[in-house]
Amino acid sequence: MKIAAILPHLDVFGGVRRYIEIGNIFVKRGYSFKIYHPGGSSPTWLEFIGETRPIEQVTSDENDIAISSDYSVLDYLERANAQKKIFYCLLEHKNNGRVCHNKKFLIMGNSTGICEMVRRKFKRDCIEAIGGVNPELFHPVEIKKESGEIRILSYGRIYKKRKGIKKVVKAAEILYRRYPSFRLLLFDTPVGNPRVDAREMLHARIPVRFYSGLPQERMAELYSEADIFVSAEKRAGWSNPCAEAMACRTAGLQ
């Protein structure tokens, strides 16, 4: 079986991890798994043993299945040379109707809630393809913590409004006034050209440790350092960071 994943990039966000890790599993089981994206290069932050190709080639290469979860590359999914075409819904979005009304697409959802929304709102079958965690990367790590500190960890991409980071920071500031031992930990990877650094946009009246560009092998250590991980993202389905935190024995709150 030949599987094609069509993505807008291979950076450390946007659900890219699931394609790389699932692709590795398919390749190890003897299937072909190719990721098509504008650059065509291999990811640098996580090992991928499948193939990567320029996105334009998906219209000429023969594949059995083509799958995507991003509306910006929907045109390529529509024109892909594949017998089955799957759109993978990750969140509630204004363009959900565009894909759900297209009978050429099979619809998958990354959570039970997203699938229920598709069935209710668009009267379409929806395959539940709920996310997962790689235990080789995400597992408890013994961390020496300062006595009495309460550490809350959250995603730090403050310029993405729907991530809800400003609300997390505001709530942390309120808690800090009552509990001086409270600490806020944030993490992000600079993206874009020129790269945007969320640390420069953070204005908090609370002690903050901001981790930028951590390698994947250190993420379990970061999750284990926290007492609670908080996700305030709007309209999202499955939360990879919450699940990763819980795999590291840190409570996850979404």
Largest CA distance in the chain: 61
Res 12: pLDDT:
86
136 is a domain residue: no
Res 196: pLDDT:
64
- List the domain range (segments joined by +) for residue 183: 150-253
Based on the fold, state whether residues 172 and 209 are members of the same structural domain. Answer: yes
> 29-52: b or e for each residue (b if 16 or more CB lie within 10 Å)?
eeeebbbbbeeeeebebbebebbb
Distance CA 192, CA 158 (A): 15
The domain boundary, picked from 128, 159, 191, lies at 128
Print pLDDT tens along the chain (254 aa): 999 999 999 998 878 999 999 999 999 999 999 999 999 999 999 999 999 999 999 999 999 999 999 999 999 999 999 999 999 998 888 889 999 999 999 999 999 999 999 999 999 999 999 988 999 999 999 988 777 888 999 988 887 787 888 888 888 889 889 988 888 999 988 766 556 666 766 777 888 888 988 999 999 999 999 999 999 887 777 888 899 999 999 998 87
Based on the fold, state whether residues 227 and 117 are members of the same structural domain. Answer: no
Q: What sign results for the dihedral spanned by CA atoms 140, 143, 146, 147?
A: positive
- The backbone torsions φ and ψ at residue 252, rounded to the nearest 5 degrees and listed phi first, read -115, 130
- Predicted TM-score (pTM) of the model is 0.87
Tens digit of each residue's pLDDT (9 = 90 or more) over 170-182 = 888 898 899 888 8
134 is a domain residue: no
82 is a domain residue: yes
191 is a domain residue: yes
Based on the fold, state whether residues 77 and 34 are members of the same structural domain. Answer: yes
